[in-house]
Chain A
Amino acid sequence: MSHLRNDLRQRAEELVALYPRPRSAMLPLLHLVQEQDGYLSEGGIAEVAELTLTTPADVRGTASFYDMFFLEPVGTYVVSVCTNIACLLAGGLELLEHVGTTLGCAVGATSDDGVFTLEESECLADCDIAPCVQVNHRYVRTNTPESFDALVAELREGKRDHEIPNHGTLIRVRRAGGLRAPKSEIAAERASAKAARDQRAEKSA
């Protein structure tokens, strides 16, 4: 029995097939697990290990390097407030403090109702609307305390569900059509391209 839902399991297998080596699919697969479970669950890690021909320890060791992967459960919405240089100059630290008060949780913690987790993040590359805020890595562009509080109200009422799905940023990223040519075909094309190039090089020499 696979830990991933049937549709995600199928996507996982497609992802593995995209790469020359299965381990290369590690990061996208971990995103998929987070999409289903909200964090990297034991079962999810074991399944990624199976798919990438590695061990659960290896998967966990890799995942812990990357900020976007959670090894413990987090809130439904992960709120990232940037306080790096451009946002700092625009009042990022002050906004972070306000966000903490609104959500009722400290940086790195989850609110008591389990809805929000707050992160102080590094530059999110949207510096023209600073301070920058992301919710589940969607830019929400709420750079004032008022606009942020309005967003929180909408999130609680479920009005932004279509815009801000679960974390695991691949939820709406799916490779469709134009699927990979069989490997043998690519190898053959590469060999013929190389032969043609060698011929040209010989001619010009």
Chain B
Amino acid sequence: MAVLDSPRIVTARAQYEDSYTLARYLETGGYEGLRKALTMFPEDVAKQVDDASLLGRGGAGFPAGRKWSMLRKAPVSYLVINGDESEPATFKDHFLVERDPHQLIEGIVISAYALQVSQAFLYVRGEFALGLERVQQAVNDAYEHGALGSKIFDSDFSLDLVVHPGAGAYICGEETALIEGLEGKRGFPRIKPPFFPAVNGLYGEPTVVNNVETMSNIPWIILNGGDAFAALGVGRSTGTRLFALAGRVKNPGIYEIEMVKNTFRDLIYNPAFGGGIINDRKIKAFIPGGVSAPWFGPDLLDLPMGQDEVADKGSMLGSGSVVVFDETSCVVRAAWRITKFFSRESCGQCTPCREGSGWIERAMYRLEHGGGRMEDLELLLDLCDNIAPGLTWPPQQTTICVLGSSIPSSVHSAIAMFRDEFAAHVNQQGCPFD
């Protein structure tokens, strides 16, 4: 049974039309978490986040508290917030930036206090024109209100927050590419090691990069305690999470769900969430966590939605976007379009990603549009294997960043699950769904 009564942590104000204004934010307990944090030692604020075992909500799921503690020894120079959400079918950060920018700002100020950083940057995807307007207005209002700037709420802590617009590049969601964008350069991911910007970040200085949703959870954690957050969910997956449900469902949208307590079936079929498949058709497959993740079949609908639960079955919760295919959806077309996306967004630094994505895209294109051959399937698997040797999960990496190793997921899943459909495309020399 679906668990519907978990607390609303980041969508508490979603019901209000004016949820993005300072007035509404203050009326609903806004900036109380920050006031409380400023009475605590920075180390204790960080400890609350550590106790909450808040996993990063950007996609990799790295514990935020641990990310911070790597820097406890050396002073941090910058806090950078990643709001460059571009993973296809992911729209939760769009929601948070546009609908509750003050919650995000409060989370940023508290985190900056915990890290004792005096300069923060909020990188917002350039395509979010309205989001940029709202978040900049919110920043202006927060300065006016004393929640940003010099001597915040008359404490000794000061913080300057700059809203930085992106300009259309998926790869800038990768944290080192994002830093390059913030330095005014092409968004090329940096060579690892060092693996974390904690060592070599913005302008070569120690930098923490966190996701928008991660930050938006912080005010609640400080007000209610890390333990209260950790009490939600199961095991390593604590708290609630925003899931973006898209594809062939009746009610696509953003749903805040307690981690692990609900299954994919609950999310897709419960009337409080997805409400089932359009025209009550049969579900064919679904992507559990963004297009970089391997697909699941209907046999895994009853899997609980948790970080480890999904990882155990060979995929990932990733960015929290669930895409549903029904019996009328062509998986060859879907996998082709996803590869086309990676091919277009590859930054071009590494050969397996730059060349591999293009090769796969062309082979998938001819399968879908006529001209495909049965041996293309082996060719595709070989190409995938060249990008991520062994086609294991998590994938082996042959490239600077994980964009490369994300490319094979959809094609490999589609071939593994629906080989018959590929054969039908070859036999008909085109798409049977057209």
Q: List the interface of chain A (C-beta within 8 A of B).
A: 18-21, 23-28, 30-31, 52, 54, 61-63, 65-69, 80, 83-86, 88-89, 122-128, 130, 134, 136-139, 169-170, 172-178, 180-181, 185-186, 189-190, 192-194, 197, 200
Contact A186/B119 with A18-B162, A138-B130 known, Cβ cut-off 8 Å: yes
Q: List the interface of chain B (C-beta within 8 A of A).
A: 41-43, 75, 85-91, 93-94, 116, 118-119, 125-130, 132-133, 136, 139-140, 142-144, 148-150, 156-158, 160, 162-170, 181-187, 203, 244, 246-248, 252-254, 287, 291, 321, 323, 325, 329, 333-334, 337-338, 341, 344-345, 347
Contact yes or no, A122 B165, CB < 8 A? no
Give the residue among B87, B140, B160, B167 with the most A Cβ atoms within 10 A: B167
Interchain residue pairs A-B with the least CB separation, the first 5: A178-B143, A26-B184, A67-B168, A66-B167, A68-B168
Contact yes or no, B337 A88, CB < 8 A? yes
A174 to chain B, nearest CB (A): 7
Contact yes or no, B203 A123, CB < 8 A? no
**Residue of A with least CB distance to B144:** A177
Q: Cβ of B126: which chain A residues have Cβ within 8 Å of it?
A: 27, 31, 66, 68, 137, 169
Q: Cβ of A193: which chain B residues have Cβ within 8 Å of it?
A: 116, 118, 156-157
Q: Cβ of A189: which chain B residues have Cβ within 8 Å of it?
A: 118, 156, 158
Contact yes or no, B167 A180, CB < 8 A? no
Contact yes or no, B156 A127, CB < 8 A? no
Q: Cβ of A177: which chain B residues have Cβ within 8 Å of it?
A: 140, 143-144
Q: Cβ of A21: which chain B residues have Cβ within 8 Å of it?
A: 183-184, 203
Complex-state Cα separation, A18 to B121, whole angstroms: 10
A49 to chain B, nearest CB (A): 11
Complex-state Cα separation, A84 to B42, whole angstroms: 43
Contact yes or no, B130 A30, CB < 8 A? no
B233 to chain A, nearest CB (A): 25
Contact yes or no, B254 A128, CB < 8 A? yes
Contact yes or no, B203 A20, CB < 8 A? yes
Q: Cβ of B119: which chain A residues have Cβ within 8 Å of it?
A: 20, 186
Contact yes or no, B167 A197, CB < 8 A? no
Contact yes or no, A200 B43, CB < 8 A? yes
Contact yes or no, B41 A200, CB < 8 A? yes
**Residue of A with least CB distance to B347:** A65
**Residue of A with least CB distance to B348:** A65
Contact yes or no, A89 B323, CB < 8 A? yes
Selected contact of B167 from candidates A31, A128, A178, CB within 8 Å = A31
Contact yes or no, B88 A123, CB < 8 A? yes
B361 to chain A, nearest CB (A): 13
A-B contacts, 21 listed (Cβ < 8 Å): A18-B162, A21-B203, A28-B164, A31-B165, A65-B186, A66-B168, A66-B187, A67-B169, A85-B323, A89-B248, A89-B334, A123-B86, A123-B89, A128-B254, A172-B133, A181-B150, A181-B158, A186-B158, A189-B156, A193-B116, A193-B156
